[in-house]
Structure 1
Amino acid sequence: MDNVIGLDFGTTNTVIAAGSGGGSGLVAIEGPAGTEPVFRSALCFWHDEAVRGGLAHEAGPWAISEYLAYPEDSRFIQSFKSVAASASFEQASVFEKRFRFEDLGRLFLDRLRARADGAFAKPARLIVGRPVEYAGGLPDPALARQRYDAMFAGVADEILYVYEPLGAAYSYASRLSEPATVLVADFGGGTSDFSIVRIGPAGAPGPRCVPLGHAGVGIAGDRLDYRLMDRLVLPMLGKGGLYRSFDKLLEIPRSWFADFADWSRLALMRNPRTLAELGRLRRAAVDGEAIGRMIAVIERELGYPLYDAVGRTKRALSTAETAPFRFEGGGLTIEAEVDRADFEGWIAEDVARMEAAVDRAMAAAGVAPDAVDRVFLTGGTSLIPRIRRIFTDRFGEARIESGGELTSIAHGLALIGQEGDAAAWAA
């Protein structure tokens, strides 16, 4: 089938690939600085009386540009995919309006398609990647599917959902001519997913890739960002501090900081009710200035530069043993040197859960480590040395391959979409 679109709607980034003639090519998407295939999964809202309804919006790098120009007069939302399977998320309050997940999704999708210069008009078949395990506590896959269906309704003649690591596997298979048993590890912003596939010889009849087993965990790049945030930033915003309640001193509820560290909720904390509650907490806190800094970060919409600083440090630690962390804004200045060894200690619990998910995928496939011919790592988080060691320790460096960290899933999904039995891949 021609006129196929593979869509990797990611927690952090979104990528489109167009499939036809048995091939797959990435779609260049317009941005303020030029075109590129990676489009940030973000939205920005601001008041504009010239727009119907009085509320304008942009997506991707355009959203970031609008936010950076007018941070205090806009609302910036990123990583909203992380609440797709959350029953506790009902609506996001943005100024005077409320948006369901599917409303945010359609606004984002409309802007994405408009910036794709007609390449994503009305495909005959749309293959949408989905995680093996959704992010969040007690995720509800049926709810996520319902929300995805509403988000993508009418976009294509046929819509199929395929596990993201299977898309990466199909992309990787296009590099191989010989048969192989492959472990695909896909590390995104919100989830880490693992699939074992059997890749057949090129040109042989029947499906090129046969899934053998899969598993996932709702932990990935965003959680590792949180570990840095928790150690470097949150103590200066009051975490671990005390407040007065009648004649007692109690620890400030940690729920405040769990919300603050989550992109899907941080942008929504700038509302009168939450700020009023924080004002009362500041008056009761032993260190009221720390809560004041937290309020300033929320009121001045400093979430993006704060997380950007965290992300820069995390990425720097992928290639250096130490890296600087610096953030300044809202009356808060933090400067620190971070050792890779310390960072690896902070994420040890998360790494253990990723390793357990790899074990589950291997068990589901009935494959022993020595039967895995190759390991394909994809996703930005796969570049972190401690994450890579999960696989080098088990399989040896010689069997590890990587590439297309941000684009392999979309590329493979567009290839799958051209198969006559593409529905067999649907999750």
Structure 2
Amino acid sequence: MALSCGIDFGTSNSSVAIVKDGTVGLVPVEGDHVTTPSAIFFQRPNNTVYFGREAVQMFFDRAGGRFMRSLKRVLGTPLMTQGTLVNTRHMQFGKIIAAFLQNLKTQTDVFAQHDVLNVVMGRPVHFVDNDAEADRRAQEELKAIAQSVGFRNVEFQFEPIAAAFAHEVNIQGEKLAIVADLGGGTSDFTVIRLSNRYLRKADRAADILASTGVRIGGNDFDKDLSLSIIMPEIGYRSTYGEKHLEVPLHTFHQLAEWSKVNFTYTPKVIMQTRQILHQSHDRKRYKRLLQVLEQETGHTLLGAAEQAKISLTGQAEHRAAFGFIEDDFFVNIQRREFDDAIQYEVDKITASATQCLNQASVRREDIDLVILTGGTTEVPLVQEEFRRMFPKAAIADENKLSSVGLGLAYDSQNKFGDGQP
């Protein structure tokens, strides 16, 4: 029987867990790390490929090349067929994602000392909101990519259900749980009955009462923080010309999304920015935008927003440094400003959780356990909202970045067996 594994290909981070000799365990996917940033760097001139932390470091060390993150958000969108330029070479996103997944499979095979052929891939409840055809297409694209890197049998499981399976091993008796899986790109919810007695049940359909999801995650928080607090300092919503027109906003919005930053470095965008600068009513700030475009430091700009988000999980204020744009350029950010910036998104996240309860026909007070997984559940406002929604429930939030991968491996055990090579 071939070995099996579960792959959590996340918007921000990825992990793999494997079933071998009846035991489930995490795979070291980058050195000793059991999680890796979902990042890839193609170094000029030969498109030598780097992954994870190494890719991030290559980019921030200003090595020449193309840096990409949040590739999962491209699935199901027209960008999958349009492709993109990578160091002057046109490349399909399917090939780019395949390179990242191939690296995960290689690390898994080395760890297993065997060619792992069976995989359960995690997927959000909705790859694309309110578009069933795009959602179906996204899963088919990911399945084809997984098969192209050497997996023979590919199954899928909703990520919040996988997270529930990872926690179930420790649950005595039966508990009614809601899983909140808040990652970089999506927020997904499942209401499910859990018990360690159910671990090897082949059919869990009766235990899964409802699943909902919305295409909002930590990357959207980065965008909100950037547009609300940082971008005004580089000319966002400033005006120009005799008619006091607002500067074009499209470039700023692209600079605030990991998957779109690279689309701003075109001669057309740079020329337009130079022309507007001559008529700008806030030349000092708007000139900063031109510097970001000319020096191709959009990812560094957005990385500063992400770092501010992370810092504000543990402190009330963060001083963001932008010396790569201008000497002695800092922006002080208060947590309350961050909370205000993301409140609308958090409201949509909690609305999706409420929708899940309604579809399951259960009340908030019926929930015994709230399972928080995914890095975005670290955000204080998110934690406050879920503790407010479920004041009587126990909170489980261990293994935030690896529980989905573990749960997918448990699911692969049920689907493919105990992994005896």
The alignment's TM-score, normalised by the length of structure 1, stands at 0.89
- For residue 123 of structure 2, the aligned residue among 123, 130, 133 is 130
Instruction: Output the CA distance in 2 between the equivalents of 1:295 and 1:117.
Output: 46
Please name the residue that 1:85 is paired with.
76
**Contact preservation (8 Å) 1:170, 1:416:** yes
Report SS of the residue matched to 1:329.
Answer: coil
Residues 1:238 and 2:235 aligned together: yes
Please name the residue that 1:211 is paired with.
208
Report SS of the residue matched to 2:208.
Answer: strand
User: CA 1:406–1:397 in structure 2 vs 1: closer, same or farther (change >3 Å)?
Assistant: farther
Residues 1:317 and 2:317 aligned together: no
User: CA 1:136–1:288 in structure 2 vs 1: closer, same or farther (change >3 Å)?
Assistant: farther
Please name the residue that 1:256 is paired with.
251
Long gaps (5+) in structure 2: none
Residues 1:119 and 2:111 aligned together: yes
Instruction: Output the CA distance in 2 between the equivalents of 1:229 and 1:287.
Output: 19
User: CA 1:237–1:324 in structure 2 vs 1: closer, same or farther (change >3 Å)?
Assistant: closer
Residues 1:141 and 2:132 aligned together: no
Q: After the TM superposition, which residues 328-347 of structure 1 pair with which residues of structure 2 at under 5 Å, given as runs?
A: 328-331=323-326, 333-347=328-342
- For residue 48 of structure 2, the aligned residue among 34, 56, 63 is 56
**Contact preservation (8 Å) 1:2, 1:418:** no
**Contact preservation (8 Å) 1:202, 1:208:** no
User: CA 1:194–1:136 in structure 2 vs 1: closer, same or farther (change >3 Å)?
Assistant: closer
Identity of aligned residues (%): 26
Listed one character per residue, the Cα deviations across residues 10-38 of structure 1 (whole Å, up to 9, x for unaligned) are: 011111111134431110123xxx42111
Q: Number of matched residues?
A: 411
- TM superposition shift of 1:221: 0.5
Please name the residue that 2:390 is paired with.
395
Report SS of the residue matched to 2:244.
Answer: strand
Please name the residue that 2:87 is paired with.
95
**Contact preservation (8 Å) 1:185, 1:377:** yes
Q: After the TM superposition, which residues 29-48 of structure 1 pair with which residues of structure 2 at under 5 Å, given as runs?
A: 29-30=29-30, 34-48=31-45
**Contact preservation (8 Å) 1:260, 1:266:** yes
User: CA 1:269–1:178 in structure 2 vs 1: closer, same or farther (change >3 Å)?
Assistant: same
**Contact preservation (8 Å) 1:186, 1:192:** yes
User: CA 1:113–1:158 in structure 2 vs 1: closer, same or farther (change >3 Å)?
Assistant: closer
Instruction: Output the CA distance in 1 between the equivalents of 2:9 and 2:324.
Output: 31
* Worse-superposed segment, 128-137 or 181-190: 128-137
Residues 1:174 and 2:165 aligned together: no
Instruction: Output the CA distance in 2 between the equivalents of 1:339 and 1:397.
Output: 31
**Contact preservation (8 Å) 1:168, 1:408:** yes
**Contact preservation (8 Å) 1:85, 1:136:** no
* Cα root mean square deviation, aligned: 2.4
**Bigger share in strand:** 1
**Contact preservation (8 Å) 1:18, 1:119:** no
User: CA 1:207–1:333 in structure 2 vs 1: closer, same or farther (change >3 Å)?
Assistant: farther
Please name the residue that 2:8 is paired with.
8
Q: AA paired with 2:305? A: V
- For residue 151 of structure 1, the aligned residue among 145, 150, 154 is 145
The alignment's TM-score, normalised by the length of structure 2, stands at 0.90
* Worse-superposed segment, 255-264 or 323-332: 323-332
Instruction: Output the CA distance in 1 between the equivalents of 2:363 and 2:121.
Output: 30
- TM superposition shift of 1:420: 4.0
* Worse-superposed segment, 396-405 or 157-166: 396-405
- TM superposition shift of 1:336: 3.4
